[in-house]
Structure 1
Amino acid sequence: MPSPGTAAPQGPADRRRWLALAIVMTAAFMDLVDVTIVNIAIPSIRRDTGASFTSIQWITAGYALAFAAGLITGGRLGDIYGRKRLFLIGIGGFTIASALCGFAVNPEMLVASRILQGGMAALMVPQVLSIVHATFPAHERGKVFGLFGAIVGLGAVSGPLLGALLTEWNLFGLEWRPIFLINLPVGIAGLLLGRAFISESKAPKALRLDLVGVALVTLGLLMLLYPLTRGRELGWPLWGYVSMAAGLLVFAALVAFERRKALRDGSPLIELSLFQVKSFAAGTAVQLTFGVALGIFFLVWTLYLQMGLGWSALRAGSTGIPFSVAVSCAAGVSVQKLVPRFGRKVLQAGALLMIAGLLLYIEEAGRHGLEITPWQMAPPLVVMGVGMGLIVAPLTDAVLSDVPKQHAGSASGLINTVQQMGTALGLGLVSVVFFGSVSDNLPPEAAGPAFVDAFQRSLWWVAGVLAVIFLVMFALPARPRTHLEGGEDDAAPETAGTTSKELSPTG
């Protein structure tokens, strides 16, 4: 039974590791597509179910919240009980949750099913790269991670388009529901093939699950995000402010508890010593704020295109193609050519380019109003996409450059968790930055201008967040000195915290 710290055997029977790779990559692709496919179908969901704007937020934020809260826990459970076992439980549960989403009879059931789906993804996704590390020797990992990059790029482009096509085709009169039901045959095939071809692996040393840490992380996130999402609808009651302040206290209690647990038995949920590394502390701050920016932009952008401008799902989905292509192209160039020569300046240039693209988008939206075309949106989207590509590909390496090798896995899992927390926080903030000027019951003649105005206001918020990111990036190392993937076998992660999200331009 291979472990993350040992190379896979090279016998004929081990040829099935490539089948195992195809299975886990398909699962990662399914999760990536599911994140991007939902946004494009939101207007159809709202028309069909009568969902309020608050429910719409929870359809997206609920998934991100459950995923963020369970990501580290899912990785640790894989270490303890076996990566294959947790992967199969996760993909089975994800498939069941997708069916529940597809057959949801009201917004409440859809929100609950999305939360379950996010929780199951938190069990499934952390095992993906850990299974790769446990199955492939170091000299093959470069090829493997190259394949992952291609899958991520494909997921980023195909998610919105697939969502648009499935919604437009209205298969069997099901409208938006096929965006979830399409996961059923993929999930069932992954479950059956995974049982046959994935080898089991566990952590080389016994670990314990930090249940108190799990509870504190989940409670803190809920106390912070629930009032943000419901606050506008309820008139910003006093209990909401109290809950958010108490949520910060819960996180402080988490830090104190994790510090004591590390001293007591050496198995904390979060390795706090990592934050003593300057580049890691700064990098997690970048990941958090970058997640906030992405969470706000992608939801607001979809609502603006379809509910504000009245575009079809297909037109809205195809409008994002220049952005996705620009992200993929810039990501490849940044890692291979620019970062080795210019270091963190490449990431900072990416932040400035994203700000420039946002300012150009604000100007275009204001000048053309409801008459704006996809071609007029292409230049700001390309500028933003290039900027984002310069950030997402090298960011993980920059954050991990000073982290000791023995903590590489837990550090990678933590920064991905932090980004997902940021995304959930950004989706919660949509209530403040966007829905504050758009109500559920706008007359048709007022809806378009209100959405355009709210979209421009939201982009100013995103630009402000990116300005903060630019400044925090000065704390990153001038040039990354280590590389997590494809390194020596003894540098393999100690925990299953690494996820495909770190490779994702949209995750």
Structure 2
Amino acid sequence: MTFQNASAAGPDRRRWIALAVVLTASFMDLVDATIVNIAIPSIQEDTGASFGAIQWITAGYALAFAIGLVTGGRLGDIYGRKRVFLLGMGGFTVASLLCGIAADPAMLVGSRVLQGAMAALMVPQVLSIIHVTFPAEERGKVFGMFGAVAGLGAVSGPMIGALLTEWDLFGLAWRPIFLINLPVGIAGLILGRRFISESTAPDALRLDLRGVLLATAGLLMLLYPITMGHENDWPAWGFVSMAASLPVFAAFVAYQKRKQRADGSPLVELTLFRVKSFAAGIGVQLAFSTGLGIFFLVWTLYMQLGLGWSALHAGLTGLPFSLGCSVAAGMSVQKLTPRFGRKVLHGGAVMMVSGALLYLAASDRYGTEISTWQMALPLTLLGAGMGLVFAPLTNAVLSGVPRRHAGSASGLINTTNQLGMALGLGLVSVVFFGAMDEPTAPQEVGPAFAGAFENAMWWVIAILGVVYALLFALPKHNPAEEPEPAAEAEPEQKEELVTV
């Protein structure tokens, strides 16, 4: 049943079950993006994975997800959102099974890459399915529910991972963090097939396969050497590969321009970068996500491998961060940003820098004797600052973009976020492992990890400084307060379904 038919006969009463299915899928993806970090020591102990393999277990998911997001959204427009969503969910479930039964690090890395690729098919369809399933008067409430589930997924991933790892269900150690997806995925497939209505975008653009290949090649040529360089003692081929990625990206941009002139169906809408706030916002998103990618991984390694804490201890230590982020995100969108505009994002960046500096001071003072309570204030400031920046950032970036391009712009923002995370995870080999003195005795392990953590935190602070500077290019006030010209309202409404 299409959206048009549903509108004529009134809203489909089954839409709430469809909503539950797509929100569960979104939750599952967000949990899997963060659940692995907390289980890294258990994975390393069980499989003998090298630090390079550990980075790829996290970065491989983020990279495959980032590369596939734009393509996944386009495939849903062309072949049907329900069809592509179910394909992605089925593939995600199979990949989770392969992760859970992985016999060695190579199989786990490959399964994580597959899992990220399948998430890239599944996740872009969520907002599109919501849009075509619910009438306009209900979408505000539904998108609010989507935001709440997204926040819950991002916050609860480390805690779920800690509990499952600590419980050691059936003697499986870390494996239940992936196997838990199997019953959820199977239920989602059964219910989704029955209750989600099919829809496609009218006049859907064709898939730009050459653009996909060029973008994928360039990203792999850049990120693979960064991730594996330290473990391989920075071989010459790595620097050659990184240098060669630049002409590949240049060829991608040139091809996208030619594709736009030829048939109007490029993979990336380059005209969006003519909007100052959007171009700067993409820079903010990339830098901010890179800093987060560095912080989350090195923080976990520092607590569990450096300080010797259990997964549950580390997970509970992160609660101040999670609570601070959740509270600040809600306040920033509902109360602060409408009144203070861009100053809220600047305040968030300053708050994160303050938290990072306090963390450095505590680590330097207490060393390996640092306690959870001594981390509480720095983590609260870091989490609250993240909530103040991340929650209102998308609206600020989109404020100068014509509504007819809002869907394409949103896809680029999500892709940039994932690319930043992948880049940050890759840079861990440089800013963390590259700064670590090789411990020669057990008592040297803790100080070595603490020193590397402090070095990585200075990098995070520097990146936050770049974020603070780039924020000045964003609009000063809440975009919701700036009305669109009346003349543009009508044509933009006509294109809304196409761009979602």
Q: Percent identity?
A: 68
Q: Does 1:328 align with 2:332?
A: no
Contiguous gaps of at least 5 residues in structure 1:
497-507
**Counterpart Cα distance in 2 of 1:366 and 1:21:** 48
**Counterpart Cα distance in 2 of 1:228 and 1:38:** 21
Q: Assess if the C-alpha contact under 8 Å between 1:75 and 1:495 holds in 2.
A: no
Q: Assess if the C-alpha contact under 8 Å between 2:11 and 2:135 holds in 1.
A: no
**Counterpart Cα distance in 2 of 1:150 and 1:326:** 15
Q: Assess if the C-alpha contact under 8 Å between 1:64 and 1:424 holds in 2.
A: yes
Deviation at 1:437, TM superposition (A): 3.1
Q: Does 1:355 align with 2:359?
A: no
Partner amino acid, structure 1, of 2:356: L
Q: Assess if the C-alpha contact under 8 Å between 1:166 and 1:179 holds in 2.
A: yes
Deviation at 1:440, TM superposition (A): 7.7
**Residue in 1 that maps onto 2:162:** 164
SS of the equivalent of 2:299 reads helix
Q: Does 1:433 align with 2:437?
A: no
Of 487, 491, 498, which residue of structure 2 is paired with 1:494?
498
**Residue in 2 that maps onto 1:217:** 215
CA 1:7–1:152 in 2, change beyond 3 Å: closer, same or farther? farther
Q: Assess if the C-alpha contact under 8 Å between 2:11 and 2:134 holds in 1.
A: no
CA 1:197–1:442 in 2, change beyond 3 Å: closer, same or farther? farther
**Residue in 2 that maps onto 1:134:** 132
**Residue in 1 that maps onto 2:341:** 343
Q: Deviations over 1:102-132 (max 9, x none)?
A: 0000000000000000000000000001101
**Residue in 2 that maps onto 1:195:** 193
Deviation at 1:206, TM superposition (A): 3.2
Moved segments of 4+, more than 4 Å: 10-13, 439-442, 487-491
Q: Assess if the C-alpha contact under 8 Å between 1:279 and 1:477 holds in 2.
A: yes
Q: Assess if the C-alpha contact under 8 Å between 2:203 and 2:498 holds in 1.
A: no
CA 1:44–1:439 in 2, change beyond 3 Å: closer, same or farther? farther
Q: Assess if the C-alpha contact under 8 Å between 1:8 and 1:137 holds in 2.
A: no
**Residue in 1 that maps onto 2:100:** 102
Partner amino acid, structure 1, of 2:424: G
Q: Assess if the C-alpha contact under 8 Å between 1:402 and 1:482 holds in 2.
A: no
The size of the alignment, in residue pairs, is 492
Partner amino acid, structure 1, of 2:496: A
Deviation at 1:493, TM superposition (A): 5.6
**Residue in 2 that maps onto 1:146:** 144
**Residue in 1 that maps onto 2:257:** 259
Q: Does 1:115 align with 2:113?
A: yes
**Residue in 2 that maps onto 1:422:** 420
**Residue in 1 that maps onto 2:449:** 451
SS of the equivalent of 1:15 reads coil
Q: Which structure would you say has the larger RCO, counting Cα contacts within 8 Å and 6 or more residues apart?
A: 1
Q: Does 1:184 align with 2:190?
A: no
Q: How does 1:233-382 map to 2 (within 5 A)?
A: 233-382=231-380
Provide the alpha-carbon RMSD of the alignment.
Answer: 1.8
TM-score (norm 2): 0.95
CA 1:440–1:42 in 2, change beyond 3 Å: closer, same or farther? farther
Partner amino acid, structure 2, of 1:492: E
Q: Does 1:390 align with 2:381?
A: no
CA 1:297–1:10 in 2, change beyond 3 Å: closer, same or farther? farther
Partner amino acid, structure 2, of 1:382: T
SS of the equivalent of 1:115 reads helix
Partner amino acid, structure 2, of 1:377: M
**Counterpart Cα distance in 2 of 1:380 and 1:8:** 51
